[in-house]
């Protein structure tokens, strides 16, 4: 809305003030547009499972004569969609906290202990994939252990979702001059090159037909990126369709790199 811009010509303080004001207005407008889009995307995503739940409940109410196996199927579908709804709400809350700028709890974290913890949890979630921990070097950084575990579980959950049974998933932690370098490599379906630059966008899912099935929300990687940024780190994804995906996260140690919020997120 250009009519709201302040006009002040010249090089004096008033002109500088006007320029600053206009810049601020622009960034507020951009943030507002993004927020509006997020709310509309979120409503859309929430509506889909709700519609499925209501549809199945209505069916059960209208047709008490349905054969038991069809009743069971309708109930199972309603339950599955309710689970999806609950995942979506949890992810949306995590992002809302991120948007609100809730700061991390920064303490000394033994990253290797967190990695081991996440690895054991992911083992229970695996569906016929081989999970390997290699290497596991001791690294201590300043950070938030719960968030680092959440980050690892997002990446491991993706590796499990997009790797067929029989595939291999390798989780690694290396000490790179005091920084923690985390890797999650899988032999799964990979990400098409055209989708790669977008996977950190909220609600983005490569190839809906394939990625909607495993119950993804499209919010995992945006949350992962936020956690990495809060640690002043970086995240990069390498992928070859049909061969697999490797995600590399670098979290700075207490050395020079540990600048709050100075993270770069790239998709290589």
Alpha helix locations (H) across 100-191?
Answer: 111-125, 145-161
Count of residues of this chain found to bind ligand ADP when the rule CB under 6 A is applied: 21
Select from 191, 228, 249, 267 the one that contacts ligand ADP (CB under 6 A): 191
Q: How far apart are CA 20 and CA 15, in angstroms?
A: 9
Query: Is 167 among the residues that bind ligand ADP (CB under 6 A)?
Result: no
Cross-sheet strand order for the sheet of 130-136: 130-136, 168-176, 179-186, 244-251, 234-240, 264-265
Q: Which is nearer to ligand ADP, 20 or 266 (CB)?
A: 266
Query: Is 158 among the residues that bind ligand ADP (CB under 6 A)?
Result: yes
Binding mask 195-234 for ligand ADP (x = CB under 6 A): ----x----xxx----x----xxxxxx-------------
Whose tokens are 């936020």? That residue is 226
Q: State the burial class of residue 15 (Cβ atoms within 10 Å of its Cβ: 0-12, 13-18, 19+).
A: middle
Select the residue whose beta carbon is closest to ligand ADP and give its number: 216
Q: Which is nearer to ligand ADP, 216 or 257 (CB)?
A: 216
**Residue 212 near residue 222, CB atoms below 8 Å:** no
Q: Which is nearer to ligand ADP, 151 or 199 (CB)?
A: 199
**Residue 82 near residue 49, CB atoms below 8 Å:** yes
Binding mask 49-78 for ligand ADP (x = CB under 6 A): ------------------------------
Give the residues lining the site for ligand ADP (CB under 6 A): 158-159, 161-162, 186, 188-191, 199, 204-206, 211, 216-221, 245
């Amino acid at each position: 809305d250009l009519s709201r811009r302040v006009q002040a010509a010249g090089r004096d303080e008033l002109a500088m003030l006007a320029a600053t004001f206009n810049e601020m207005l622009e960034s507020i407008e951009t943030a507002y547009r993004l927020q509006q889009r997020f709310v509309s995307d979120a409503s859309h995503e929430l509506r889909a499972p709700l519609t499925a739940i209501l549809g199945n409940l209505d069916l059960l109410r209208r047709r008490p004569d349905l054969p038991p196996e069809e009743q069971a199927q309708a109930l199972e579908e309603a339950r599955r969609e309710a689970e999806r709804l609950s995942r979506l709400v949890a992810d949306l809350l995590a992002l809302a906290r991120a948007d609100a700028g809730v700061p991390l709890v920064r303490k000394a974290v033994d990253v290797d202990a967190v990695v081991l913890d996440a690895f054991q949890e992911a083992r229970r979630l695996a569906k016929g994939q081989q999970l390997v921990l290699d290497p596991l070097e001791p690294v201590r950084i300043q950070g938030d252990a719960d968030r680092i575990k959440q980050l690892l579980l997002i990446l491991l959950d993706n590796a499990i979702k997009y790797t067929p049974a029989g595939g291999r998933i390798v989780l690694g932690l290396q000490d790179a001059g005091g920084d923690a370098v985390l890797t999650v490599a899988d032999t799964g379906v990979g990400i098409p090159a055209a989708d790669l630059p977008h996977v950190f966008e909220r609600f983005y899912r490569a190839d809906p037909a394939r990625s909607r099935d495993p119950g993804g929300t499209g919010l995992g990687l945006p949350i992962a990126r936020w956690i990495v940024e809060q640690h002043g780190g970086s995240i990069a994804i390498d992928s070859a369709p049909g061969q697999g995906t490797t995600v590399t996260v670098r979290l700075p140690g207490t050395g020079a790199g540990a600048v709050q919020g100075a993270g770069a997120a790239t998709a290589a």
